[in-house]
Amino acid sequence: MVKILAILELTVKKVKEPAFSLLFVIAALVGYSVSEMGTLAFTGEQDVLFGLISLEQGAPLLIGFVVILFMTLIVAIFEGATDIPKDINSRMILLILSKPVKRVEYLLGKYLGVVMICLIFFLIAAVTAYVTHLVKTGELFAFSVIARQFILTLVIFPFVAMTMVISAYLSDISAMIVTVIYVILSACISAFSVLIDMLPKSLEVVSIIHTITYLFPNYFYFFSSFRYGGIVIIALSAYAFSTTVIFLSIAAFRLNHRDMI
């Protein structure tokens, strides 16, 4: 555990660099810009999006915080998809692994470091949005509303793990491109599966599409509305955890069998 934390500290130390200072300034600017956006809502029950994101119960999602999440995921792509390839290209990874550090420990440390950077970005933007809203309107967001926005951070954990898998196989630029393509495919397949569910179950295409969906994480789940006392929050947490473990296991297998020279 100490070795994992050491790699985490090494990764997070980059926030002291001028480029990262600028990144967090951008986070504050994003939070300020989106502070007065409304709630995410769909009124037509026949709308396809209504089938993907239902906002009938529970606290609503605020569009501003959804934008903040998307910006955070962009940071995750740049960091998660490039961190390991950069260490390999610079031979830094050979220096680290020459110490009594296992490759799995290196991976977990890098993963947790990137997750922490993303959480810091989200937190700075979210706090800025909250304070800006308070200053402009004199009103406080209800605790349930704020809690619902921060539950969106569950997306970050499997998303960063996904970028780590791709970066374990490809170089930095290639990893970023493939990550973006994979995310777009995930969204398309997840949306398409909703349409497929409207078809008769007897059609062979239904089972084929459902099989394909297992190869892509469904991030739409995290945008659903739910009651905090229900089973949904537990299911979402379990889904985020299990998806993260699967992605990190694949990344660990690749790193354990990859030539670092």
Confirm whether 22 is domain-assigned: yes
pLDDT of 209 above 50:
yes
In this prediction, residue 232 carries a pLDDT of 75
- Is 49 or 93 the better-scoring residue by pLDDT? 93
CA distance 222 to 232: 10
- Is 172 or 179 the better-scoring residue by pLDDT? 179
Residue 198 pLDDT level (bands cut at 50, 70, 90): low
Mean pLDDT for the stretch of residues 9-22:
75
Q: What percent of the chain is predicted at pLDDT more than 90?
A: 25
Residue 49 pLDDT level (bands cut at 50, 70, 90): very low
Domain hosting residue 29, numbered range? 2-35+47-256
Mean pLDDT for the stretch of residues 119-138:
89
CA dist 195 → 31, 41, 48 (Å): 34, 20, 8
Q: What's phi and psi for 100, nearest 5 deg?
A: -75, 60
CA distance 252 to 149: 31
Number of domains in the chain: 1
Token match 């809690």: residue? 147
**Which two three-digit tokens encode residue 236?**
């979402």
Confirm whether 208 is domain-assigned: yes
CA distance 23 to 114: 14
In this prediction, residue 52 carries a pLDDT of 47
Confirm whether 41 is domain-assigned: no
Go through the chain and tell me how many residues it has: 261
Mean pLDDT for the stretch of residues 108-115:
92
pLDDT of 47 above 70:
no
Please tell me the least confidently modeled range out of 46-60, 88-102, 114-128, 151-165.
Answer: 46-60
E runs forming strands in the chain: none
The enclosing H or E element of 121 equals helix 103-137
Confirm whether 192 is domain-assigned: yes
b vs e for 147-161, b when ≥16 Cβ sit within 10 Å of the residue's Cβ?
ebbebbbbbbbbbbb
Confirm whether 108 is domain-assigned: yes
Confirm whether 243 is domain-assigned: yes
Residue 96 pLDDT level (bands cut at 50, 70, 90): confident
In this prediction, residue 122 carries a pLDDT of 94
* Mean pLDDT for all residues in the chain: 80
Confirm whether 234 is domain-assigned: yes
Residue 202 pLDDT level (bands cut at 50, 70, 90): low
Q: What percent of the chain is predicted at pLDDT more than 70?
A: 80
In this prediction, residue 206 carries a pLDDT of 58
The whole-model pTM stands at 0.83
Confirm whether 127 is domain-assigned: yes
In this prediction, residue 200 carries a pLDDT of 57
